[in-house]
Amino acid sequence: MLTVGIVGIGNMGSAITARLLERAWPVAVHDVDARRESDARALGAKVCGTPGECGAAAQVLLVCVVDAAQTEAVLFGPNGAAGTLRQGACVMLCPTIAPADTERFAAELAERGIDCIDAPMSGGPARARDGGMSLMVACADAVYERHRLLIETMSSKVFRVGQRLGDGARTKLVNNLLAGINLAGAAEAIALAERIGLDGGHTLDVIEQSSGQSWIGSDRMRRALAGDLAPRAHTSLLNKDTHLALEMARDAGFSPPLGAAAAASFARACAAGFDALDDASLVELLRRLG
């Protein structure tokens, strides 16, 4: 088994770390949060002081940060991993970022003799921990085969979306735009149900067994109705992702009206101070707006 470096051990990265360690993969980690690093060390991970140190320790580096700016800093900033990864090593890009950024990072890595796998992930930390998350993978077939064991250890739901780097990012943005639309719709429906005197929980029971059901709606609205807004997926993330999807759509000459409405809802929630809460908090915003 290759040594796996993971930079960014937040909700998803820490779940992947725990899964790999449980299956005896050697793992080196780095994060800006010392508490996260301490938790990983307790599980058996090697803790590295910088992304560069993590890259030097690994044959495969998973980048599990939030956005393109953080990804660029991890790879090419001061103490970045691209300068310490050996030729023939591989970087797996797991954040939700613009396809153009994925292509740019991959090209810069290729100039250094480093392979790249475009592999955004979806499903949340619980599914990442049990291997049930989705991975949308785009890379050369030879690169995929070299790392198949790792990829299939991480996920039992691997979707090979092609060999063109950036297609994983494109697929993830399409998925997340629909997730945003579904979540915004579910929050609106529950807020409406409560406003007209229905019990939100009973209404969600009906929706879950009827034509209005969606996985993200059920998952998030159950938490919201229980008053649980502790962040598993921050509202700021769907705000970022829906707006990235709109940018991608505009570049393709397409204007999705429902996607624009959902993106506006998440932007409004972030402006109202819900950015660091779980994205289930969208229903609370709608309750307040009336």
Closest CA to 136 of 121, 155, 126, 156: 121
**Amino acid, res. 10:** G
Rounded distance between C-alpha atoms, residue 202 and residue 208, angstroms: 10
Q: Is the dihedral of CA 108, 111, 112, 113 positive or negative?
A: positive
Check for a shared fold between 4-165 and 170-289: no
pLDDT at 290: 67
CATH topology of domain 170-289: N-(1-d-carboxylethyl)-l-norvaline Dehydrogenase; domain 2 (1.10.1040)
List per-block mean pLDDT (blocks of 10 residues) for the chain, which spans 290 residues: 94 97 98 96 97 98 97 97 96 97 98 98 93 97 97 97 97 98 98 97 98 96 95 93 98 97 97 96 90
235, two tokens: 């509202």
CA distances in angstroms from 82 to 9, 93, 101, 112, 227, listed in the order given? 19, 13, 16, 8, 43
To the query of whether residue 240 is one of the catalytic residues in this protein, the response is: no
DSSP symbols for 84-135: TSPTT-EEEE-S---HHHHHHHHHHHHHTT-EEEE--EES-HHHHHHT-SEE
pLDDT at 190: 97
pLDDT at 206: 98
Where along the chain do its domains lie? 4-165, 170-289
pLDDT at 282: 96
Look up residue 49 and give its DSSP letter.
Answer: S
Verdict on whether the full-model pTM lies above 0.95: no
- Which of 46, 157, 172, 240 is the catalytic position? 172
Closest CA to 168 of 102, 262, 260, 248: 102
CA distances in angstroms from 137 to 17, 40, 249, listed in the order given? 19, 26, 21
Rounded distance between C-alpha atoms, residue 64 and residue 117, angstroms: 13
- Which residues in 77-102 are b (16+ Cβ under 10 Å) and which e? bebbbbebbeeebbbbbbbbbbbebb
CATH architecture group of domain 4-165: 3-Layer(aba) Sandwich (3.40)
**Amino acid, res. 237:** L
